[in-house]
């Protein structure tokens, strides 16, 4: 809006000159007034374009009956040392943000800012580092969540969903989705996986950046192998983070440490949800911790052969609108080879374990997080041809239906097959242990 502010200052200045020095003002009427007006129009045009391309947008309104409260907590796992530290006395330390069903906010209370997780003395620089120089307006975007609001007295105890973000992502990466879940009666806990998240800010002002060794270099075969080793290590670390957060929520629910949520959580109904690599973490957390009763992978590529191992919990996978690479593409490119292997592992996993496989037409990988809402220019956000709010509705409806069925035992017709309301979603339902020939939908 700087351009619009300049025009306002220009008009105010000229008005002051006309009022105080009319003879001086007369000397500017022509042709200087024409040039001045032209400049003003150009500046206003620039302001209009920039505010449309980089808007202070509004998140989709939550569709449930509850208001949404949120609180952020520091959690320390005394049973684990920090794997990214050389100090044997440093324990694993996490920042966790919780969204939950709440009552009505008091008059005048504003929802929290979207990027409150980066608040601190250098917040502006942290936002620039995390999102680049173009997206400074994100600091003015507000969520629909109210900080430390009282938990709703109605409908509890509430089922729990743990959220794991992408390889370098933050706990609020899918704010629109988790707010909608909370409005329908779920408690969602998003994790900053310290040293894996791009930026983690602790309450005492300490800032921890992602480990520079965690690079995603897939340009060479050696780079791919190094990255795959890292995914093994990070998958284990982050799955343990998810189990630890579930432990802490149990302690909180039992009154083991103060918290808004004491007595409001149903630990017997816990699921896990992850975006990108977080979807892989969701799978691995389900493999190692039976307390997670259901899991969802939001477009996370399966990397290793063991990802197709036996799983007892129901699982849902969302996919962007991509086709498997050809044999020739896989032979030319290590990255394409890794992608092709991921398609194969995913199909094998679904044939062995059953599950839901959803492909959203026109969706790119970023469409499964908040970033396509940042700008209507897909070149800036990486979003696909689908309208971002349409994609959000698809993901939120199917995610909620899945958790309502498998955590709450509620009937969910949306999961019975192809929906006439969502013809832009290809739905495949795999049944445990059936071969490709036996499966009515076949592979992707």
What pLDDT score does 28 carry? 53
Structure tokens at 105: 């906010």
Are 128 and 251 part of one and the same domain?
Answer: yes
Are 58 and 47 part of one and the same domain?
Answer: no
DSSP 346: H
Q: Count other C-beta atoms under 10 Å from residue 167's C-beta.
A: 23
Residue 275 lies in a domain: yes
**From 85-89, 143-147, 400-404, the region with the lowest mean pLDDT:** 85-89
- The pLDDT mean for the chain works out to 88
Residue 49 has pLDDT above 80, yes or no: no
What pLDDT score does 444 carry? 38
pLDDT confidence of 217, banded at 50, 70, 90? confident
Residue pair 197/172 in contact (Cβ under 8 Å)? The answer is no
pLDDT confidence of 350, banded at 50, 70, 90? very high
| Mean pLDDT for the stretch of residues 290-307 | 92
Residue pair 214/168 in contact (Cβ under 8 Å)? The answer is yes
Cα–Cα separations (whole angstroms), residue 219 to 101, 216, 223, 301, 337: 45, 9, 6, 17, 11
Are 365 and 329 part of one and the same domain?
Answer: yes
Residue 443 has pLDDT above 80, yes or no: no
Are 151 and 22 part of one and the same domain?
Answer: no
What pLDDT score does 64 carry? 97
User: Residues near 222 by Cβ (< 8 Å), separated by ≥ 6?
Assistant: none
Structural domain of 22: 2-51
Q: Count other C-beta atoms under 10 Å from residue 136's C-beta.
A: 13
What pLDDT score does 33 carry? 54
Are 232 and 198 part of one and the same domain?
Answer: yes
Residues 103, 105, 109, CA angle at the centre, nearest 5°?
A: 160
**In this structure, which long-range contacts are made by residues 204-208, counting pairs with CB atoms below 8 Å and at least 24 apart in sequence?**
205/120, 205/121, 207/120, 207/122, 207/126
Closest CA to 347 of 239, 439, 270, 279: 439
Among 51, 66, 90, residue at a domain's last position: 51
Residue 438 lies in a domain: no
Q: In what order do the strands lie in the sheet with 315-319?
A: 145-147, 67-81, 91-102, 187-192, 158-164, 265-275, 292-298, 315-319, 355-360, 425-430
Burial (CB count within 10 angstroms: exposed 0-12, middle 13-18, buried 19+), residue 192: buried
Residue 286 lies in a domain: yes
- Percentages of the chain per state (helix, strand, coil), in multiples of 5: 45, 20, 40
Phi, psi of 270, rounded to the nearest 5 degrees = -120, 135
Residue 281 lies in a domain: yes
Are 370 and 346 part of one and the same domain?
Answer: yes
Cα–Cα separations (whole angstroms), residue 73 to 23, 69, 132, 256, 339: 65, 14, 27, 15, 36
Residue 439 lies in a domain: no
Are 93 and 212 part of one and the same domain?
Answer: yes
pLDDT confidence of 29, banded at 50, 70, 90? low
Residue 62 has pLDDT above 90, yes or no: yes
Residue 17 has pLDDT above 70, yes or no: no
Are 119 and 247 part of one and the same domain?
Answer: yes
What pLDDT score does 436 carry? 42
Task: Label the pairing between strands 67-81 and 158-164.
Answer: unpaired
Among 13, 33, 51, residue at a domain's last position: 51
Are 33 and 113 part of one and the same domain?
Answer: no
* CA–CA dist 77, 248 (Å, integer): 9
How many domains, in total, are found in the chain? Answer: 2
Residue 348 lies in a domain: yes
Structure tokens at 390: 């349409």
Are 8 and 141 part of one and the same domain?
Answer: no
Cα–Cα separations (whole angstroms), residue 182 to 62, 112, 173, 408: 8, 15, 15, 14
CATH number at residue 296: 3.40.50.1820
- Name the strand (E) or helix (H) holding 94: strand 91-102
What pLDDT score does 2 carry? 62
> Could you read off the pLDDT of 258-269 as tens digits, one per residue?
788 999 999 999
Residue 442 has pLDDT above 50, yes or no: no
pLDDT above 70 covers a percentage of the chain that reads: 86
Structure tokens at 420: 């006439």
Cα–Cα separations (whole angstroms), residue 126 to 1, 371, 374: 21, 17, 17
Are 292 and 418 part of one and the same domain?
Answer: yes
Residue 441 lies in a domain: no
What pLDDT score does 85 carry? 82
Among 11, 31, 51, residue at a domain's last position: 51
Residue 435 lies in a domain: no
Are 42 and 73 part of one and the same domain?
Answer: no
Residue 7 has pLDDT above 60, yes or no: no
Structure tokens at 299: 């477009």
Structure tokens at 15: 């008005």
């Amino acid at each position: 809006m700087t351009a619009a502010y300049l025009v306002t200052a220009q008009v105010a200045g000229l008005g002051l000159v006309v009022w105080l020095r009319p003879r001086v003002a007369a000397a500017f009427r022509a042709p200087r007034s024409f040039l001045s007006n032209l400049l003003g129009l150009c500046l206003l045009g620039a302001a209009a374009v920039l505010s449309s391309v980089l808007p202070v947008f509004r998140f989709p309104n939550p569709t449930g009956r509850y208001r949404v409260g949120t609180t952020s907590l520091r959690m320390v796992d005394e049973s684990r040392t920090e794997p990214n530290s050389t100090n044997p006395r440093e324990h694993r330390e996490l920042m966790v943000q919780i969204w939950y069903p709440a009552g009505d906010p008091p008059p005048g209370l504003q929802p929290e800012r979207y990027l409150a997780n980066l608040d601190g003395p250098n917040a502006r620089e942290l936002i620039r580092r995390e999102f680049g120089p173009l997206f400074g307006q994100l600091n003015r975007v507000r969520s629909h969540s109210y900080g430390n609001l009282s938990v709703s007295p109605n409908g509890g105890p509430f089922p729990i969903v743990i959220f794991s973000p992408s390889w370098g992502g933050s706990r609020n990466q899918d704010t629109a989705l988790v707010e909608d879940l909370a409005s329908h009666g779920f408690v969602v806990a998003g994790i900053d996986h310290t040293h894996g998240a791009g930026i983690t800010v602790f309450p005492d002002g300490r800032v921890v950046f992602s480990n520079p060794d965690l690079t995603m270099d897939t340009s060479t075969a050696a780079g791919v192998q190094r990255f795959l080793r890292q995914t093994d290590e990070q998958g284990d670390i982050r799955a343990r983070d998810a189990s630890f957060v579930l432990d802490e929520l149990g302690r909180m629910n039992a009154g083991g440490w103060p918290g808004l949520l004491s007595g409001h959580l149903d630990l017997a109904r816990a699921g896990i949800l992850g975006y990108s690599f977080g979807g892989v973490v969701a799978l691995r957390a389900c493999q190692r911790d039976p307390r997670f009763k259901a899991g969802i992978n939001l477009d996370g590529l399966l990397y290793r052969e063991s990802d197709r191992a036996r799983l007892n919990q129901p699982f849902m996978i969302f996919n962007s609108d991509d086709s498997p690479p050809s044999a020739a593409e896989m032979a030319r490119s290590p990255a394409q080879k890794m992608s092709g292997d991921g398609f194969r592992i995913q199909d094998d996993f679904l044939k062995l374990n059953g599950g839901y496989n959803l492909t959203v037409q026109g969706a790119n990988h970023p469409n499964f997080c908040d970033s396509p809402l940042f700008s209507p220019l897909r070149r800036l956000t990486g979003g696909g041809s689908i309208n971002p709010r349409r994609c959000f509705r698809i993901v939120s409806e199917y995610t909620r239906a899945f958790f309502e069925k498998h955590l709450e035992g509620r009937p969910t017709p949306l999961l019975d097959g192809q929906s006439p309301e969502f013809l832009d979603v290809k739905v495949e339902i795999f049944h445990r242990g059936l071969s490709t020939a036996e499966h009515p939908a076949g592979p992707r």
